[in-house]
Each structure stands twice: as C-alpha cells, then as structure tokens.
Amino acid sequence: MSRDTMPNAYVAGKGDLSPGDQALVARRQKALGPAYRLFYETPVHLVRGEGVWLYDKDGKAYLDAYNNVACVGHCHPRVVAAMAAQAATLATHTRYLHDGILGYAERLLATFPAALSHAMFTCTGSEANDLALRIAREHTGGTGVIVTENAYHGVTSSIAELSPSFGAGVPLGAHVRTIPAPDPRHYGQDLGAGFAAAVTAAAADLSRHGIRPAAFLVDTIFSSDGVFADPKGFLAPAVEAIRDAGGLFIADEVQPGFARTGEAMWGFMRHGITPDIVTMGKPMGNGYPIAGLVVRPEVVAGFGSKVRYFNTFGGNAVAAATANAVFDVIAEEGLMENARVTGAYLADGLRALGTRHGVLAEVRAAGLFAGVDVERDGAPDAALAARIVNGLRERRVLISATGKAGNILKIRPPLTFGRENADLLLERLDEVLAAV
C-alpha cells in the first residue's frame, strides 16, 4: 500500500492500454484480488531499472522522481554485487555469531546520537514500527498513541490502526488520537508551541478516557500529510510535551532518513532532538528487505528482560552486506550533499513554475523531498493534482500526490537524481501545467 492519497489516479486500466497490458491487468485482478491498486490512469508496465530511470516493456525510459526505496538508484552495481557475493557465501539469521550484522549495527549506530545505542532489525518499516510500539508500551505501561491526521506508518494490524491515511476502511483504534499536520495554517506563526499544545491536548484526552499515553509517533518530514519540514526545531516542543505526559517520542525515518533531507543522515536531526526510538525501512537496503530501529538502552531494557526477540530474515547476513553497501555508496558518491544542492535547485525551479502557473501554490522542501500544493481559487484541487500526475506519467516522468485532500504533489527521487534530471522534470511539469 502506498503512503499516499491520490484520488482518481489509481484507476487500473482506465487509460489507453495495449491489448497485452489490458490482459495483464485482468490477470492481476484475478490473481491478486481487489485490495491491490495500480499507479496512474494508464498503468506503467516496467521491466528494468537503472539509476534514476525505469524502463517499460517497449524500452521507453521513465524518469523516476518518486521512489525513495531505491535510495541510491535502481540496481546500483555496488549494492547488487554485495548482495550477490554474500548470497553466494552465507545467508542465515542473527541467532548465530556473524561479523556482518555486528559491523553494520555499529556503523548504523555511529550515525545517531550516543544515547541511541541499541539496534534491532526487521524486514520492513511496518515491522519496525510494530516492534517500536511493543517496546513503548512495555516501557511506559501505556497503550495510547498520538499521530498526525493523515499519517501512514505501516500495514500490520497494530500499525494500520495508527495510520489514518487508510481512510474509513481501516478504523483507528480507540487508543489513538490524531492531531493536525504541523502546518502554520492550523497553528499560526508559533508552529512549535501550537503543535506541542495539540500533543498535550491529545494526551490529556487519552488520560480522560483512562488510557495512559505510550507514544507520539511521527514521520519526521510528515510526508503523507503533505511534507512539512520547516522551520527547523519546531518539533522539539512537541517531543517535550509527550515526555511530560509520560510517553515516548518515536521518529519514523522510513521516508526522511538515509540522507534524504540533504543536511543530516536522519530527518529528526533538523530539529535538534534525540528520539527515544527511531524506525527505518527498506531504503536501508536500497529495496532489499531490511529495516529496523535504534533505541535508548533504558527504554528497551524492560522489554528485553521479558521478551525473546528474533526475526528469521531481519538482519540476516545478506541483508547486512547489502545495507552496508548502501552506506558505502551514500558516502563515496557524496549523495547527502547531492540531495542538499540538487534539492535546493529543484525547489527553486518549482517555485518559479508556481509564479508562472497559478495552480501551484506553496512549495515545501528539504533536500530531495518536496511537497507542492495544487490549488484553484485558493482551494485544494485533488482532481487537478491527479491530472498533473497523470500528465507527467504520459510524458514519462513519475511522481505522486499526497495530503489529506489529495492535492499535494509528492516529489521524492532517488538520491542520485542530478541537476539535469531536475531540469527534465521541471520542463515536463511546465508542459503539463500549460496543457491543464
């Protein structure tokens, strides 16, 4: 399931599909059932990826400005070689001694504040958030969780009910409270104080209903809410507020992590805070199924004394080798700096298009992550956002849309995305905006 809300754009087979692809859609619906969705009015039949490019069955190249999972680019040869070499040597779990997982854990922990000194591994971000929730409940004795009102955190039973972006089909748990996204339009100019007050009020409401707060869980760039990265530091008062209420702060870094914001390895670092638990997902292995969390030792101590944690595939030898190669590529190819420089260039270009085309309103960005409001007459326009997304797809540029109203363009390319790629995206977006 995508971390997006994009009405009118997940219509399988609605567009101009070839007979062969129409048959493929029919096979997919028959084999996979009704819960699966496809991107775009005319789905894309992809067969190969390389760097920032995806190729369809006819060999046509699509600029990928959306997939953060392949964070160092599709099929990066350094990552593929590490994966293959380890798979040809040993592929087993973490219940045997092995240098690979320990070396990777130590390297990972070195990128965090010293207070976060234990690592635990899973296969997916959903699993990581599920494990974080278990740890938080054990440590605090509470069950209550506060999230933002269009958050997405995963697909397990316990995490789906903390993910309001699913909509009415997945009801929130009685122990869940939502607060508006950290948008000055909700909270006024003192965003930090307003957002913290919302956390305090939500925690108080939980307590009034006999539910002890356990955690405040946020994606630190608020991507499903529409990308809210600034001002730096606004998140710190909200972290204080949940701790004052007896809960923990869990930073979901599946999307903003691994150098995405261009300033630090992790999104929370822009706010000058140290979470109690940080969760990560598949960008850790460039799409290979490795994920995990880091945690303060005092927070996990009670859980660890009572629970025997293991995960057959989480942190296996192949996963560790693959993830280690991802760190190598980020460092050696200067991808954090590229995210900073190229991201700033792209954001400036998006703002220039907004000046030229009135339907693009505010641009919010940090590194290679941008959210762009699509509005008509000052009101959110989800249908127009979907037309823009589908118009770009027809011009072979892939982005998506998100936000509670479904009107926010979401641009989140691989970290290898360069200035020439940004120019192409801006050129094609200009064409689409002129056409719509």
Q: How far is CA 401 from CA 37, 47, 381, in A?
A: 15, 23, 11
Name the strand (E) or helix (H) holding 80. helix 77-87
Weakly modelled stretches of the chain, pLDDT under 50:
1-13
How many other C-beta atoms can be found within 10 angstroms of the C-beta atom of residue 198?
21
> Do residues 335 and 72 lie in contact, with contact meaning Cβ atoms separated by under 8 Å?
yes
List the structure tokens of 294.
Answer: 């880091």
User: Where do the DSSP E strands lie in 142-211?
Assistant: 144-148, 176-179
* Per-residue pLDDT at 169: 86
Give SS3 for 213. Answer: strand
Q: Which CATH class is domain 77-332?
A: alpha beta
Provide the whole-model pTM.
0.94
* Per-residue pLDDT at 15: 59
The half-sphere exposure of 83 on its side-chain side, counting CA atoms within 13 A, is 17
Q: Do domains 19-75+334-408+417-435 and 77-332 have the same CATH topology?
A: no
Distance (Å, whole) CA 110 – CA 321: 17
* Per-residue pLDDT at 94: 87
Instruction: Report the relative pairing of strands 144-148 and 213-219 from DSSP bridges.
Output: parallel
User: Dihedral sign, CA of 402, 352, 221, 290?
Assistant: positive
Smallest Cα–Cα separation from 326: which of 116, 120, 121, 108?
Answer: 108
Could you tell me the end-to-end alpha-carbon distance of the chain, in angstroms, rounded to an integer?
28
Instruction: Report the relative pairing of strands 53-56 and 46-50 from DSSP bridges.
Output: antiparallel
CATH of 19-75+334-408+417-435, one of 3.30.70.141, 3.90.1570.10, 3.40.50.1860, 3.90.1150.10: 3.90.1150.10
Q: Domain segments of the chain: what residues?
A: 19-75+334-408+417-435, 77-332
Distance (Å, whole) CA 366 – CA 262: 7
Give SS3 for 214. Answer: strand
- Beta-carbon contacts of residue 303 (< 8 Å; ≥ 6 apart): 134, 135, 138, 139, 309
Distance (Å, whole) CA 261 – CA 321: 25
* Residue 231, preceding peptide bond in cis (omega within 30° of 0): yes
